Amino acid sequence: MRKLQYSATALALAALAPFAQSAEPVAFDWFSYRGNDAVFDTPPPAGQFQNPILAGFYPDPSSCRVGDDFYATTSSFAFYPGLPIFHSTDLVNWKQIGHALDRPSQLTGTEGLRSSQAIFAPTIRHHDGVFYLITTSVYGINNFYVTATDPAGPWSDPIPLPWIDGIDPSLFFDEDGRVWLTHNGPPPNNDSLYEGHRAVWLWEIDLETNQPIGEGKIIINGGVDLSQKPVWIEAPHIFKKDGWYYLTCAEGGTSIQHSQVVFRTKSLDEEWVPWDNNPILTQRDLPADRENPIIAAGHADFLELENGDWWATFLAIRPYEGGFYNTGREVYMLPIEWTEDGWPMILEQGKEIPWQLERPDLPLSQEPVPPTTGNFAWRDDFDAPELGYEWMYLRTPQDNWLELKDGQLQITPKNVGLSELKNPSWISRRQQHSTYQAATQFEAPVQGTSAGVAAFIREDYNFYCGIRKTDKGYEAFLEKSEESAPRLVATHKLENLEAGDQVILRIEGEKERISFYLETPDGEILTVARDEDATILTTTRAWSFIGAMMGPYARLESGE
């Protein structure tokens, strides 16, 4: 499935106009990544699994079951391809099988948007042989859905739902054939009583006309208890069990106050009643100084297994000292326990999310390649016909500046910096560990071009380490953006380097520190910069919805 799906992506990109500027491409031979976090040092014993199940920038998870198969997706914001699709048969080992938005025509209008805008909080569902994936393109076409009969693709072009005012849409297919849509939306009369005051809306929808049936209505105002001024009620999902309709939502905002709450009703025409023991998942009541904390848990989706067991997938964060985290919001999983009076509990208040716990009662499947959690080493030799699913562009490319040729990744440089709201000649993969090493081998570029590796979390929070030829010869350099335009923080003259010579650039990250090294053709290892501040690649500093991303970058130097 991977080859067919990504061949479609490659063909779609190949159909773009060839890059017009007469620049010589830069050839990258390979890119490697190795993660080594202490929390992953001890593999889970037999019969257990490791949290998170998807490490790195995979926020706002949604999942569904189809027979013996499970599928999941997450937010992708302004990165392309959008909406990764994962498959599993045991809920533990997840293999990416494609993207729902893998054609430029499906994800338009990303130029001019920031990296944390565009595709928010999807929901994936299956009904009568069709997969539905509904989401919001913030500052784009707003709410829409796409469909497919094969989750590996192809997925349809976006079907817009312009009448929805809000984010986080979700579909519920009732047993009587009616289809319902929930979403986060404005409070009554669009009159916010306090900052973060939102509501959950319910609509009946006709998927033949894509129009609402009747008027929508607010079913949750503010949250569990409006008098307590709850904030950011969102990610509403409806489920049905034993004659009850259940509505589960995130509440508290996607940070340290995050939580999951639940309501229920016997009829969609009646009032939704919150559970007295809400929240059903949170870590906000635990000591901040506990060892190896997992925080900000919420935005859950529910799965029922064939045997009647229930599980929740949700996002959470694993910070290091100081509350910093470069890995973004990740996907975790816990079992759901049902009380005797029919309420779901993911985790009792006061309990810590376990790093390792008993696996679901499902046959064990093979671990995915590349791995999605734990400590691992990975390398891309760029010898496949298409890029692997782990690679992403920042914004949808408008021209074809990348080519896999002769066992190399060849990037034709553009005069686009990382601070611009355009598509730079840069591809990236997620940082999935707090302690890691990333490296690439590439050819020294011709004069007028720089090449190297960029580490990025926001347009004004990033690093670019590379080499370039000036009138005085080649130099290694490091640029840093810290709530600012890029500034040069280090340069080193490179003797006896010629265009086309092979160099290796290596990044070493250890929590709040990041260092950059360059190996020259004669084997000399040069320290470009050591112990730079890696907290600029964290949400804590940059306030970004993504996690740190890194990968090969080439740039025309004229005009920089």
Tokens of 551: 């990968």
Name every residue whose Cβ is closer than 8 Å to that of residue 459 and which is 6 or more positions away in sequence.
114, 115, 418, 419, 420, 421, 481
Q: What is the dihedral of CA 532, 538, 542, 543, to 10 degrees?
A: -170
- Three-class DSSP category at 371: coil
Cβ(183)–Cβ(168) below 8 Å: yes
Which of the residues 37, 60, 251, 479 is marked catalytic?
A: 60
For the CA atoms of the chain, what is the radius of gyration? 24
Q: Among 467, 540, 450, 542, which residue's Cα sits nearest to residue 504?
A: 467
| 47: DSSP letter | T
Cα 92 to chain centroid distance, Å, stands at: 18
Distance separating alpha carbons of residues 78 and 420, to the nearest angstrom:
13
Tokens of 327: 């890995």
Q: Is residue 531 annotated as part of the catalytic site, yes or no?
A: no
Which of the residues 102, 234, 251, 330 is marked catalytic?
A: 234
| Maximum pairwise Cα distance, the chain | 78
Tokens of 529: 């910069």
Q: Where are the beta strands (DSSP E) in 156-309?
A: 159-160, 167-173, 179-185, 199-206, 211-221, 234-241, 244-251, 259-265, 273-274, 281-282, 295-304
Question: Quick one: 483 exposed, middle or buried, by C-beta within 10 A (0-12, 13-18, 19+)?
Answer: exposed
Distance separating alpha carbons of residues 24 and 446, to the nearest angstrom:
7
Q: Where are the beta strands (DSSP E) in 129-185?
A: 130-138, 142-148, 159-160, 167-173, 179-185
Q: Is residue 234 annotated as part of the catalytic site, yes or no?
A: yes
246: left (phi over 0), alpha (psi -120 to 50) or beta: beta
Distance separating alpha carbons of residues 72 and 331, to the nearest angstrom:
10
Tokens of 144: 């829409």
Q: Which residues on neighbouring strands pair with residue 70, listed in sequence order?
A: 65, 88
Task: Report phi then psi at 541, rounded to 5.
Answer: -95, -45
- Indicate which residues carry an active-site annotation: 60, 234
